[in-house]
């Protein structure tokens, strides 16, 4: 069976590469022992803010066998989204991951293709695809699978390509050859902690989600807190500051996924253009984009908060 496991693992990794994934790692579908106390403390401190969904399914977040019957392996995958071009400098900023089409759909399609390939080439394998829409601790699994280490800003980091990529998983009931975690290469660097505009990185490796600009501009549905006035650094959807200042992101290379290419307006719009954007233009520019999550009213609220 050992030969089988090795062969199957190689097959899956080769197909993942063919589908355009940056890398693929595999870990045993087991209880995430080290993560349990961390998650518990994070929730106890209220770092989830109004993201109440983070409190749900505590057990499922830590044990993939509760999500997929008979789960044996977690196949973690990274997909690069670092853009070729950046927005106009005189602009309100959008997180790079949202430049193109909504990644959920793009990645889900690739994962379905990968699962179908596994079933066609290996046999009767059951599993589920996950793209941050279910209680799965993506970063923990990717780190366990040797795809990178979790940095002080709590994002997954790799020495070769930094952190501008999506993480997704296939949890399957097939035993594979498992990868080993890599080592932490943050060293004494505190660039991300020092640069965070709202001081959301409250300690190395600990982010208070309720203080993060991404949380305010995307998750928070109420009025934005007045004490955050002047701290958004022109970010109207998400925030990339902790990634932009990370030395490992010097090695980021542009993606080659056509679906992630942005509309010209997104790159070219000035602050004035964003301030005057109509709902019709918003719908056109963000037709299949993750930005639709905040809705037109949300973007207008964020812009008004920044410019006032």
Q: For tokens 């037109």, what's the residue?
A: 296
- Residue 256's Cβ-count burial label (10 Å; 0-12, 13-18, 19+) is exposed
> What one-character DSSP code corresponds to residue 162?
B
Catalytic annotation, pick one of 63, 69, 109, 132: 132
Q: How many residues does the chain have?
A: 308
Query: Is there a contact between 55 and 45 (Cβ–Cβ < 8 Å)?
Result: no
Query: Is there a contact between 144 and 79 (Cβ–Cβ < 8 Å)?
Result: no
**Cα 153 to chain centroid, rounded:** 13
What are the backbone angles phi and psi of residue 109, rounded to the nearest 5°? Answer: -60, -45
Q: Is residue 132 annotated as a catalytic residue, yes or no?
A: yes
- The helix (run of H) or strand (run of E) holding residue 129 is strand 127-130
Catalytic residues: 132
């Amino acid at each position: 069976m050992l030969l089988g496991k090795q062969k199957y693992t190689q097959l899956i990794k080769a197909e993942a590469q063919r589908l355009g994934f940056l890398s693929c790692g595999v870990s045993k579908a087991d209880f995430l022992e080290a993560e349990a106390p961390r998650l518990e403390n994070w929730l106890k401190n209220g770092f989830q803010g109004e993201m109440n969904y983070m409190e749900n399914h505590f057990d499922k977040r830590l044990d993939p066998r509760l999500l997929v019957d008979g789960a044996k392996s977690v196949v973690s995958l990274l997909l690069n989204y670092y853009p070729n071009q950046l927005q106009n400098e005189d602009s309100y900023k959008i997180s790079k991951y949202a430049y193109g089409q909504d990644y959920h759909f793009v990645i889900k399609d690739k994962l379905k293709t990968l699962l179908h390939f596994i079933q066609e080439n290996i046999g009767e394998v059951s599993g589920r695809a996950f793209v941050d829409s279910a209680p799965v601790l993506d970063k923990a699994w990717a780190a366990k699978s040797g795809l990178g280490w979790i940095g002080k800003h709590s994002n997954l980091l790799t020495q070769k390509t930094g952190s501008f990529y999506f993480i997704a998983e296939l949890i399957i009931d097939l035993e594979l050859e498992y990868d080993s975690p890599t080592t932490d290469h943050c060293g004494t660097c505190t660039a991300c902690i020092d640069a965070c505009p709202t001081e959301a990185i409250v300690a190395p490796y600990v982010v208070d989600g309720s203080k993060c600009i991404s949380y305010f501009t995307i998750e928070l549905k109420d009025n934005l807190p007045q004490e955050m006035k002047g701290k958004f650094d022109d970010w109207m959807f998400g925030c990339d500051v902790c990634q932009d200042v990370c030395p490992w992101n010097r090695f980021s290379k542009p993606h080659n996924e056509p679906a992630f290419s942005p509309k010209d307006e997104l790159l070219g719009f000035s602050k004035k253009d964003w301030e005057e954007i109509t709902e019709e233009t918003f719908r056109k520019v963000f037709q299949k984009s993750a930005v639709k999550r905040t809705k037109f009213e949300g973007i207008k609220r964020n812009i008004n908060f920044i410019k006032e």
